[in-house]
Amino acid sequence: MQDEPTPIELTKAVADFLRSDITPLISGHQAFKLRVAINILELVTRQLTREKESDAAEVERLRTLLGIDGSVTELNRALAERIAQGEVDLTTPGLAEHLWATTMDKLAVDQPNYASYKRELSRGG
């Protein structure tokens, strides 16, 4: 285990530095590429912040839904296989809820400012 600063703190600090100190100094296509880089750093920061908790919740939902144990990757593969074989569909208790929760977790990382995501959060979704 590394000492401080954490990877989360490092990525956040670099994004903040680029936004505050470098963005005002450049323009045009280089400014666009810098905004892309800042967005990537912010996405990585959100992944690092949320990954452990959201993966654990996803694994628990998948264990309950499938009745088996495994990693998040293994369980998702098993779910996909069961869907492909017609063993599981949207009438399966818990599947729709699992898919919705997983989608919301992914949006929290990938597109937290997406209007529909924010609307669903305000509804308690």
CA 68 – CA 89 distance, rounded (Å): 17
Residue 112 lies in a domain: yes
Q: Which two tokens stand for residue 88?
A: 């599981």
Supply the pLDDT for residue 2.
67
Residue 25's domain comprises 7-122
What is the per-residue pLDDT across 101-111, written as a single tens digit (0 to 9) for each? 999 999 999 99
- Say how many domains are in the chain: 1
Residue 59 lies in a domain: yes
Residue type, 117: Y
pTM: 0.79
Supply the pLDDT for residue 4.
87
Residue 2 lies in a domain: no
Phi, then psi, of 69 in degrees rounded to 5: -110, 160
Of 40, 49, 42, 38, the residue nearest 105 (C-alpha): 49
